[in-house]
Every structure is written in C-alpha cells, then in structure tokens.
Amino acid sequence: MIGIYFSGTGNTKYCVEKLIQAYDPMAEVTSIEEENVVQRISLHNEIVIGYPVQFSNIPKIVKDFIVDNQDVWNGRNIFVVATMGMFSGDGAGILARLLRKYGANIMGGLHLRMPDSICDEKALKKPFHKNQELIAKAADKIEKAAQKLKEGNPPQEGLGFLSHAAGLLGQRLYFCNKTKNYSDRLKINGNACVKCGKCVSVCPMKNISLGEEKAIPGNKCTMCYRCINLCPAQAITLLGKRVYEQGGGRYDCE
Ligand SMILES: Cc1cc2nc3c(=O)[nH]c(=O)nc-3n(C[C@H](O)[C@H](O)[C@H](O)COP(=O)(O)O)c2cc1C
Ligand code: SF4
Ligand code: SF4
C-alpha cells in the first residue's frame, strides 16, 4: 500500500497520512509533487489517492498527473479520498471514473469535510473552533474507514449514480470552465508585497516569479490557495478581492 495526495493547504495531506497510519503504519505516503512519485507508485498494487475538490471537480494539476501517467494505473487497486469544505456530490466518483478509464480497479471512496481553503471569500469562513470540530470529525471518520478497509469492506462514498447526478447538477455543469484550464486570475498587490519570495518557493506550479517591484503571477495557477494562505503580507488574491483569514486549513503543506 502507498498513499499519494495533492494538497494545496494541508487538509488532504493530513487525511491521507491519517488513513495510512491507521491502515498500515509501515506504508509510505507521498505528495504527487515529489519527483520520483510515479516510480514509487509502480511498486505497489494498492494505492490510496487523495485530492481536494474544486467546484465538484478535480484540480487541473491532479487531472494532468493522472492523464500524463496513465499507464501506471492499469490493474492497480485504488481507494479514493476527496476532501471538501462543504459539498462535492461525487468527489471520489469523478476521480474514480478517470482512473477506471486507465484500467484501475476502484476499491472504494471516502468524502471528508475539512476547513475551507478559500481564504479570500468571507462567506465561506468558519470560526476556529468550528474548523477544529470538522477536523476531529474527519479524523474519527478516517479511523472507521481504515477499519472497514482492513475488513475488506471499504466505504463507497461518491461512487454511485445518485452522487454522480448530485455532483454534475449541484455544481460541475455550472462551474466546469473553472477547472478546465490553469487559471490566469491570480492577483498580487504591489503595494502590499514585500518580495519575501515565499509564494515563489511554495507554488506547486512554479507559477510565480520575483520581479523588480513585486512578485509576478503567471497563467498556470491550479487554484490550490497555498500561496494565498501563506503570504505574510496578505498580498495575493484569486477568487475574492481581499484576504479575510489565513490558516483555516492545516497549512503544513510546505
Ligand atoms: C478553488 C477551490 C474550489 C473549491 N471548491 C469546493 C467545492 O466545490 N466544494 C467543497 O466542498 N469545497 C470546495 N473547496 C474547498 C476545498 O476542497 C477544501 O478546503 C479542501 O479540503 C482543501 O484541501 P487541501 O488543504 O488539501 O488543499 C474548494 C477550494 C478551492 C481552493
Ligand atoms: S509571499 Fe506575498 S509578500 Fe512574499 S513575495 Fe509573495 S506576494 Fe510578495
Ligand atoms: S499561484 Fe498560488 S494558488 Fe496558484 S497554484 Fe501556485 S501556489 Fe497555488
């Protein structure tokens, strides 16, 4: 067994690490950002793969990873973990269908509600103690899922027809353009940026460079919200107009 994940702000990393720890403490866990991850996956028959839902869809970086390495999924037994702030419908299902296309056998799926990582939208913010409650509930759910995996009866969340319809009609059809391509919408406020370089070093897409006056965004943003949550000057925004609160997620994603 190997656990792999993409995690913008640490939620998914936390969940996959916790699941693997409960299932098999000797098993390895790694981010898809690691250079030798594909070679490591190819050594395992059973895989847990985790990702954060974006608009009931797969982040572009995750989709590209699956498609670019399509040969590695054939014949593997895969358990899909989708983390979300509120609702995905078929978060596990949408990735499961893509993996099946490349020959994977889907063992099951797990949906975990975690703190919302969109820190420049006020409406989605919850108080700190509510986020702590969400994390505790997710941890409990993960323990139970690991037990069911061990018993050969893993959860099947997000995989059925009704979940598929809920994901499609709930959000995906309406927002499908948001995750189709990488985004060129990241904004960096030149008055606030102190050119510390943090955003440059943490971006999984190498989408930011340091200019003369300020950090400069490119057009290959996968909307993970890592730089926005970590910028010490709160100078970066994407979907919203200003940063309301950083640190809602777990933020041990560096
Ligand atoms: C661009 C974007 C879109 C999101 N869309 C959804 C969504 O459709 N439904 C939902 O429940 N959460 C949504 N979220 C919240 C994340 O899925 C959630 O916070 C996730 O646990 C973040 O995981 P991470 O810390 O591993 O990146 C979205 C987050 C981002 C950044
Ligand atoms: S992290 Fe923020 S302050 Fe630092 S370089 Fe990037 S935008 Fe500027
Ligand atoms: S620019 Fe920021 S939000 Fe976009 S992919 Fe890079 S770290 Fe993530």
What digits encode the pLDDT tens for the residues 138-158?
999 999 999 999 999 999 999
Domain 2-179 of CATH type 3.40.50.720: no
3-class DSSP string for 48-77: EEEEECECCECCHHHHHHHHHCHHHHCCCE
Sign, CA dihedral 55-59-60-66, equals negative
Residue 191 pLDDT > 70: yes
Per-residue pLDDT of 31-47, as tens digits, reads 999 999 999 999 999 99
Residue 176 pLDDT > 80: no
Instruction: Give the C-alpha separation, 8 to 1, whole Å.
Output: 23
Which atom of ligand 1 has the smallest separation from the CA of 116?
19
Residue 228 pLDDT > 80: yes
Residue 251's pLDDT band (cuts 50, 70, 90):
low
The protein residue with its alpha carbon nearest to ligand 3, atom 7, reads 203
Judged by DSSP in three states, 156 sits in strand
pLDDT of residue 249: 59
Residue 254 pLDDT > 60: no
Shortest CA distance to 245 belongs to which of 77, 87, 131?
A: 131
Residue 19 pLDDT > 90: yes
Shortest CA distance to 198 belongs to which of 248, 251, 154?
A: 251
224 Cβ closer than 6 Å to some ligand 3 atom: yes
pLDDT of residue 178: 82
Instruction: Give the C-alpha separation, 188 to 210, whole Å.
Output: 11
Residue with the bigger pLDDT between 60 and 254: it is 60
pLDDT of residue 253: 52
235 Cβ closer than 6 Å to some ligand 3 atom: no
Residue 195 pLDDT > 80: yes
197 Cβ closer than 6 Å to some ligand 2 atom: yes
Chain mean pLDDT for the chain: 94
Which residues make beta-bridge pairs with 105? 77
186 Cβ closer than 6 Å to some ligand 3 atom: yes
215 Cβ closer than 6 Å to some ligand 2 atom: yes
Q: Which helix (H) or strand (E) holds 172?
A: none
The protein residue with its alpha carbon nearest to ligand 2, atom 4, reads 196
Please enumerate, as own/partner, the contacts of 22-26 that have beta carbons within 8 Å and a separation of 24 or more.
22/142, 22/143, 22/146, 22/147, 23/48, 23/146, 23/149, 23/150
pLDDT of residue 77: 98
Residue with the bigger pLDDT between 173 and 93: it is 93
Instruction: Give the C-alpha separation, 118 to 223, whole Å.
Output: 9
* CA 226 to ligand 1 center in whole angstroms: 12
pTM metric for this prediction: 0.96
Domain extents in the chain: 2-179
Residue with the bigger pLDDT between 87 and 64: it is 64
* CA 100 to ligand 1 center in whole angstroms: 23
